[in-house]
Amino acid sequence: MKDINNYINSNKDRFINELIDLLKIPSISADKAYAKDVLEAAKAVKKSLDDAGCDNTEICETKGYPVVYGDKIIDPNLPTVLVYGHYDVQPPDPMGLWTSPPFEPVIKKTELHPDGAIFARGACDDKGQFFMHVKAVEYMIQNDELPCNVKFMIEGEEEVGSDSLEDFLMENSEKLKNDIILISDTGMIANDVPSITTGLRGLSYVEVEVTGANRDLHSGIYGGAAPNPINILAKMIAQLHDEDNHITIPGFYDKVQVIPDDERAEMAKAPFDLEAYKKSLDIGDVHGEKGYSTPERFGIRPTLDVNGIWGGYTGEGAKTVIASKAYAKISMRLVPDQDWHEITDLFTKYFESLAPKSAKVKVTPHHGGQAYVTPIDSDGYQAASKAMETTFGKTPVPQRTGGSIPIVALFENVFDSKTILLGFGLDSDAIHSPNEHFGVWNFLKGIETIPYFYKYYTEMKA
């Protein structure tokens, strides 16, 4: 890997400009109005794989948005790394809170990114992160440093639940066959505290609808006598947690893996500054399940959160009305061995049981996925750890994270391969929020680190 740093130094402006061009495309998968842009992003990704020197690049149709494929097979007897990422992004709203437009990338310095960070929707989640792999592979191909085979699979529906991906994997399992899956779509603890994600939570996402009367009513004429679905919904939601913030759904915790005390003690060694956490969020105190630390609350415990709630009059001024309907979107983050289909059923039954006779309730499941935990004694983890140690000068800390990438559990079923979650973002990079950004230092550090993963992994497999 002799001249990786030279290569980065002499090409970094181009790398950043290429990423900026990709970030200008508003590939918002959740909003049909941007369908053309999502497809344009797929084309741009294909071109970037071509330019990097990949073979067999292809925009693969699915039932939904396409998957972009490309590979470089140097010897079928050598190991194969499958790189996964996603070129779709979250909607940018609320627009008013962005300090610069979400699809007009600019580089600005921040306290944690003194070398500058690229501000744009998708900068960190996930365009900036999968693009590190494209550039790292470009370096390896152009400099004869690619020690094994590589395949890319960059999808366009991750942010809306990867609906078409299961079928795509089944239909293309031969083509995508691999020994290890490498993903940069998570974060690390800090630029001077490298970490590797060893766990992702599962997810069950549902929408609920509570109906009272058959039409909106005058809140004076009917108020106090007719059911108010918003009041009822609020009360039903309030009953989903008890005093200690445990979730009250019967059976919800039945399959949760109990983590032994010695393992919890080991996890507690990962650096975490509670005061800095509170300060960064500007909150008086943290809030969560009794008996667990903050990192445990977001890392190893399941949760239930309302993500949105609406109904009635929310326009300017006041309107006296009792709405006919009230709605909420609810996510449950799950841990091994909770099954998301089973949890969705348990939620539905319990939520329906909470409804008074005066109201009707409808629960509609959206999407979900299983949790994932990866061991740290695998070749893949060890290679990733050694790679980070080489470029950061420190052994990375294994850390479970609260987010979800539902496809990862599926990968293990289909390919029997482990997934290595080698992320270079920071929690404070504001993914899914206004002013998402990705540190220029992090972007370049990722490009520098990834080739070492290939080197060490291939050596370990030899």
> Rounded distance, CA 288 to CA 303, Å?
9
CB 42 to ligand BES: min, Å: 17
Residue in 420, 439, 354, 367 with CA at minimum distance from that of residue 196: 420
Whether residue 126 contacts residue 185, with contact meaning beta carbons closer than 8 Å, is answered with yes
Instruction: Point out which span in 59-67, 145-153, 181-189, 350-358 binds ligand BES (CB under 6 A).
Output: 181-189
Site for ligand BES in 350-379 (CB under 6 A): 367
Cα 341–Cα 403–Cα 413 angle in degrees, nearest 5: 50
Instruction: Point out which span in 36-44, 70-78, 231-239, 396-404 binds ligand BES (CB under 6 A).
Output: 396-404
Q: What are the E-state strand segments in 97-171? A: 106-108, 117-119, 149-155
Instruction: Point out which span in 46-54, 157-165, 232-240, 447-455 binds ligand BES (CB under 6 A).
Output: 157-165
Per-position x/- string for 236-265, each x denoting binding to ligand BES as judged by CB under 6 A, each - no binding: ------------------------------
Instruction: Point out which span in 179-187, 238-246, 250-258, 260-268 binds Mn ion (CB under 5 A).
Output: 179-187
Q: SS3 of 198, please?
A: strand
Per-position x/- string for 120-149, each x denoting binding to Mn ion as judged by CB under 5 A, each - no binding: -----xx-----------------------
CA 445 to chain centre: 20
Amino acid at residue number 287: H
Residue 436 binds what, of Mn ion, ligand BES, none (CB under 5 to 8 Å, by partner type)?
Answer: none
Residue 229 binds what, of ligand BES, Mn ion, none (CB under 5 to 8 Å, by partner type)?
Answer: none
Cα torsion 428, 433, 438, 439: sign: negative
Residue nearer to ligand BES on the CB measure, 62 or 186: 186
Residue nearer to ligand BES on the CB measure, 229 or 369: 369
Whether residue 298 contacts residue 277, with contact meaning beta carbons closer than 8 Å, is answered with no
Cα torsion 184, 186, 192, 196: sign: negative
> Rounded distance, CA 438 to CA 107, Å?
9
* 341-350: b (≥16 Cβ within 10 Å) or e: eebbebbbeb
* End-to-end CA, the chain: 18
Under rule CB under 5 A, how many of the chain's residues touch Mn ion?
Answer: 3
Q: SS3 of 360, please?
A: strand
Residue nearer to ligand BES on the CB measure, 136 or 409: 409
Per-position x/- string for 419-438, each x denoting binding to ligand BES as judged by CB under 6 A, each - no binding: ------------x-------
Instruction: Point out which span in 17-25, 272-280, 337-345, 401-409 binds ligand BES (CB under 6 A).
Output: 401-409
According to the binding rule CB under 6 A, does residue 334 interact with ligand BES?
Answer: no
Residue pointed to by tokens 């998957």: 67
Whether residue 156 contacts residue 122, with contact meaning beta carbons closer than 8 Å, is answered with no
According to the binding rule CB under 6 A, does residue 300 interact with ligand BES?
Answer: no
Site for ligand BES in 71-130 (CB under 6 A): 125-126
Instruction: Point out which span in 113-121, 181-189, 222-230, 331-339 binds Mn ion (CB under 5 A).
Output: 181-189
Residue pointed to by tokens 């949790």: 371
Binds ligand BES by CB under 6 A, chosen from 4, 188, 405, 420: 405
CB 403 to ligand BES: min, Å: 2
CA distances from 344 to 172, 333, 351, 388 (A): 29, 11, 10, 38
| Residue whose CB is nearest to ligand BES in the complex, by number | 403
CB 184 to Mn ion: min, Å: 9
Binds ligand BES by CB under 6 A, chosen from 138, 159, 429, 448: 159
Whether residue 13 contacts residue 440, with contact meaning beta carbons closer than 8 Å, is answered with no
Residue 186 binds what, of Mn ion, ligand BES, none (CB under 5 to 8 Å, by partner type)?
Answer: ligand BES
According to the binding rule CB under 6 A, does residue 187 interact with ligand BES?
Answer: yes
Which tokens belong to 384?
Answer: 């990733």
According to the binding rule CB under 5 A, does residue 429 interact with Mn ion?
Answer: no
> Rounded distance, CA 53 to CA 397, Å?
34
Torsion, Cα 391 392 398 399, to 10 degrees, reads: -120
Which tokens belong to 264?
Answer: 């919890």
The contact set with Mn ion (CB under 5 A) reads 125-126, 185
The contact set with ligand BES (CB under 6 A) reads 125-126, 158-159, 161, 185-187, 200, 203, 367, 401, 403-406, 431
